[in-house]
């Protein structure tokens, strides 16, 4: 789970190049789906305008970077189907008024959270009318309409607010594999059970290792000298993984596997 503030201005990292290729500048929301469809990025050619990343091309959103496979994940805005219509709708949740289904003004949104595995909006933080303090989070399942002027929610939403949202389900076995980072002040970390970063990374790597074992390489991978590290169609074994790591090709291997 990530808040919009945790994502905006993150560096965008190309995994294959190990290089920063831009920074997150805007989340393009789809009001029909209640989800982030695209991410707008400012790259070094900022004078030519922002570039777009379809959310499905995002490999991970961590504490320090948003990752994509390579630079080809960036596209001109006009090349992305549907993005112009979404930009014209210009759905921006922070500051939008919250209205109940019976027409009562409940308050306004100060922040929103997304499931970083899917891009779905998981919830919106509610600041009650005539208050400066957030009362809790409206879970996404109680949001009826993402409008341009109002967020319409179920009646009696004040009784359905939560202090924190549940953790995202594991991404292993889907198109993404990520280390999860809970919003500050929520989840098990807030209770004093935060794992050291090296333990989180070790846990992530072991899950990733178990996921790719027994799969097959989708492409032939070579080292810097042109020597074959893994052949296309080769079954992934512990020895395959060690060869890939020794050649600094492990990340490329994890991104190019099939059943």
Tell whether the torsion through CA atoms of 169, 175, 181 and 182 is positive or negative.
negative
Q: What is the mean pLDDT of residues 54-82?
A: 92
Task: Give 38's pLDDT tier (boundaries 50, 70, 90).
Answer: very high
Please give the model's pTM, rounded to 2 decimal places.
Answer: 0.65
Q: What is the mean pLDDT of residues 39-65?
A: 91
pLDDT tens digits, 165-222? 987 655 433 344 333 333 434 343 434 444 454 554 455 567 677 878 888 888 899 9
Q: What residue segments make up the domains of the chain, in order of their start?
A: 2-89, 97-159, 213-258
pLDDT (0 to 100) of residue 128: 95
Q: What is the mean pLDDT of residues 28-45?
A: 94
Q: With left for phi above 0 and alpha for psi between -120 and 50, is residue 144 left, alpha or beta?
A: alpha
pLDDT (0 to 100) of residue 206: 72
pLDDT tens digits, 132-172? 899 999 999 999 999 999 999 999 999 999 999 987 655 43
pLDDT (0 to 100) of residue 187: 41
Strands 105-114 and 121-128: antiparallel
pLDDT (0 to 100) of residue 44: 86
Burial of 117 (0-12, 13-18, 19+ CB in 10 A): buried
pLDDT tens digits, 83-118? 999 999 999 999 999 999 999 999 999 999 999 889
Share of the chain above pLDDT 70, in %: 85
Q: In angstroms, rounded to a whole number, what is the distance separating the alpha carbons of residues 60 and 150?
A: 31
Q: Provide the CATH topology of domain 2-89.
A: SH3 type barrels. (2.30.30)
- Same fold? 2-89, 97-159: yes
Would you say residue 8 has pLDDT above 90? yes
**Would you state the CATH architecture of domain 97-159?**
Roll (2.30)
Using an 8 Å Cβ cutoff, are 67 and 13 in contact? yes
Which residues, 6+ apart, have CB-to-CB distance to 178 below 8 Å?
A: 59, 60, 61, 62, 116, 117, 171, 204
Average model confidence (pLDDT) for the chain?
84
Using an 8 Å Cβ cutoff, are 141 and 124 in contact? no
């Amino acid at each position: 789970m990530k808040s919009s503030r945790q994502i905006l201005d993150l560096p965008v990292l190309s995994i294959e190049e190990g290089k920063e290729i831009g920074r997150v500048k805007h989340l393009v929301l789809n009001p029909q789906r209640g989800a982030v469809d695209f991410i707008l990025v400012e790259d070094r050619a900022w004078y030519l305008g922002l570039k777009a990343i379809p959310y499905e091309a995002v490999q991970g959103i961590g504490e320090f970077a948003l990752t994509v496979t390579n630079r080809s994940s960036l596209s001109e805005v006009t090349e992305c189907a549907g993005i112009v219509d979404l930009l014209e709708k210009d759905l921006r949740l922070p500051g939008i008024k919250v209205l109940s289904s019976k027409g009562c003004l409940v308050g306004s949104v100060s922040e929103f959270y997304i499931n970083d595995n899917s891009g779905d909006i998981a919830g919106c933080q509610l600041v009650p009318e005539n208050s400066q303090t957030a009362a809790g989070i409206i879970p996404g399942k109680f949001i009826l309409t993402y409008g341009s002027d109002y967020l319409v929610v179920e009646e009696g939403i004040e009784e359905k607010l939560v202090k924190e949202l549940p953790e995202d389900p594991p991404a292993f076995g889907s198109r993404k594999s990520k280390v999860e980072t809970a919003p500050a002040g929520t989840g098990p970390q807030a209770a004093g059970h935060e794992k050291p970063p090296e333990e989180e990374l070790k846990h992530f790597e072991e899950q990733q290792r178990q996921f790719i074992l027994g799969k097959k390489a989708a492409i032939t991978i070579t080292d810097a000298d042109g020597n074959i590290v893994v052949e296309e169609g080769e079954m992934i074994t512990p020895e395959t993984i060690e060869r890939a790591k020794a050649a600094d090709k492990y990340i490329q291997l994890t991104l190019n596997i099939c059943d």
